[in-house]
Amino acid sequence: MGPPVLDQRLLRNDPTLITAPLARRGLATDLSGLQQLALEARDLEQQRSELQAEGNRIGRAVGERIRAGAAPGGEEVKELREQGNRIKRQVGELEEQEKGIEAQLMEQLMVLPNLPSPLCPSGRSEADNVEVKRWGTPRLAAEGEELQEHWQIAERLGIVDTERSVRIAQSRFVTLLGQGARLERALISFMLDRHGQRGYTEVLPPVLVNTASLTGSGQLPKFAEESFRCADDDLWLTPTAEVPVTSLHRGEVLAAEQLPLKYAAYSPCFRREAGSYGRDTRGLIRLHQFNKVELYWFVAPEDSEAAHEQLTLDAEAILEALELPYRRIELCTGDLGFSAARTYDLEVWLAGAGTYREISSCSTCGDFQARRASIRCRDGKTTRLLHTLNGSGLAVGRTMAALLEAGQQADGSVRLPAALVPYFGADRIGAG
RNA sequence: GGAGAGGUGGCCGAGUGGUCGAAGGCGCAGCACUGGAAAUGCUGUAUAGGGGCAACUCUAUCGAGGGUUCGAAUCCCUCCCUCUCCGCCA
């Protein structure tokens, strides 16, 4: 019945194998109640299927009698019918109990986050994250120079209109204009082309997704308040292309030879950003709608670790091609996202703000999403859950912010990296 | 949106109440035949869950969910999807 959410065999046999890793996330969970439920569900299923077997035997017996010449409405068959009815009633009762328990089980299991990978460093919060790599030389203000933040630059150049966007939608939306719109488009094309050259299949998915899709990748049921919903339909605005791409293969069994499947999906992303009032209200950093190119891998379980490194390198390659200094941070268990088993965040240097800001988050989800979305791979005779990975490659708005701050010139213009020139059609924005 | 037709295993396709998890074909795998291959023949080929060390076995699944029945792929209801025609539309 129902989709397997967390390995229920594990839950029945040894819940400490679940609670111990969850404790590393800072979650104190007591699964003994759930374990009881799972055992109960198993026992009920056993009872029920035995009864069903008995019912099947009776049904077959009736058929045999009738074929042997018994009257379908006659005495001989009547007794069997009554037995059949009795069993049907009992099965119905058991099924009802089973459904109740199953529902409780699901309700509680679905809100448990993924178990962190053993490789994920322990820690309580952001403060315990580990920097593993730095690339490039951050631009610092020269003597007498004052570096502006991207929203100041953008406003001055007239390439973004925040105020009129409120008229169109509400706050935390932006309208890009002129060279700003063009730069956004150039960046999307640039990223997709680069990833395409590295073996990714380009994807342009639906951005309205159904409840099953959001559940499969882990956004639902727990984070409903984070997504925009279409009230009259079973559809939501996707918060990331990770959602539709996960569901691209939802319910499938993929042949081992097909793996790894590597996708680069561009999509606009929609987030309510509930609970972030007042933070990052200016500029392109925290919007209700933003563009992102997402990298996504479906891999055999034993390949996911190497895939995680490669996916992260692929995201970093974009930053390097754009000459944007960054650092790679490995998240500790306490800072891990809901679906992730292990995560590298990439933080780009924002020269105007004088700080590193997250621009990509590259995670391996192990079999967590595969279990929720039922995605398996076949090797030989057996099938097993595969592993999924995702990472931004990159968040486009934040990339633009970094470029504006990194390339700002004394004359008010912004120099763009050489790699972007063929896409943008010029080597600078503004004056000149 | 209106009218009609349909959704069966990896694919095609039969099956309108009783050993149907489902004929037949294709595909695929193994074996035989061959110098090797093709052709041919034989055998095997769904998924999930439960029990068992295992051989194996039980249950469920013919778009989804309900219902009728001792028994449903087959009958009834609701929903989803696909196709054709009409309407509308970028």
Which nucleotide is nearest to A8 if distance is taken from CA to C1'? B49
A117 is catalytic: no
Assign A280 a pLDDT band (cuts: 50, 70, 90).
Answer: confident
What lies within 8 Å, CB to CB, of A338 at 6+ separation is: A113, A114, A218, A219, A222, A223
Residue A309, pLDDT above cutoff 90: yes
Instruction: Indicate the SS3 state at residue A171.
Output: coil
What torsion do the CA atoms of A185, A188, A189, A194 make, to the nearest 10 degrees? Answer: 160
A420/A179 Cα distance (integer angstroms) = 13
* Residue-wise DSSP of A50-93: HHHHHHHHHHHHHHHHHHTT--TTSHHHHHHHHHHHHHHHHHHH
Calculate the CA A240 to chain-centre distance: 7
Alpha carbon distances (Å) from A62 to A50, A71, A404: 19, 10, 80
Which nucleotide is nearest to A7 if distance is taken from CA to C1'? B49
Which residue of the set A45, A358, A384, A413 is catalytic?
A: A358
B72 C1' closest Cα residue:
A59
Q: Give the rounded percent of residues in chain A with a pLDDT score beyond 90.
A: 81
Distance A424 CA to B8 C1' (A): 53
Sheet holding A235-237, edge to edge: A208-209, A235-237, A229-230
Average pLDDT over residues A238-265: 92
Supply A347's token pair.
């933080």
Asked if residue A125 lies in contact with residue A335, where contact means CB atoms within 8 angstroms, the answer is: yes
Average pLDDT over residues A20-28: 96
Rg (alpha carbons) of chain A, rounded to whole number: 27
**Per-residue pLDDT, A2:** 38
SS3 content of chain A, % helix, strand, coil (to 5): 45, 20, 35
Distance A67 CA to B21 C1' (A): 22
Asked if residue A238 lies in contact with residue A267, where contact means CB atoms within 8 angstroms, the answer is: yes
Distance A83 CA to B69 C1' (A): 13
Residue A382, pLDDT above cutoff 70: yes
**Per-residue pLDDT, A277:** 78
A188 in the Ramachandran plot: left (φ > 0), alpha (ψ -120 to 50) or beta?
A: alpha
A331/A345 Cα distance (integer angstroms) = 7
pTM attached to this predicted model: 0.93
A80 touches strand B (CB under 7 A): yes
Alpha carbon distances (Å) from A209 to A229, A233, A246: 10, 10, 11
A254/A175 Cα distance (integer angstroms) = 41
Distance A87 CA to B62 C1' (A): 25
- Supply φ then ψ for residue A235, to 5 degrees: -140, 145
**Per-residue pLDDT, A3:** 44
Residue A431, pLDDT above cutoff 80: no
Nucleotides of B under 7 A from a protein CB: 18-19, 47-51, 58-60, 69-71
- How confident is the model over A185-203, as pLDDT tens digits? 999 999 999 999 999 999 9
Which nucleotide is nearest to A66 if distance is taken from CA to C1'? B18
Q: What is the ipTM of this complex?
A: 0.88
**Per-residue pLDDT, A432:** 54
Which nucleotide is nearest to A12 if distance is taken from CA to C1'? B50
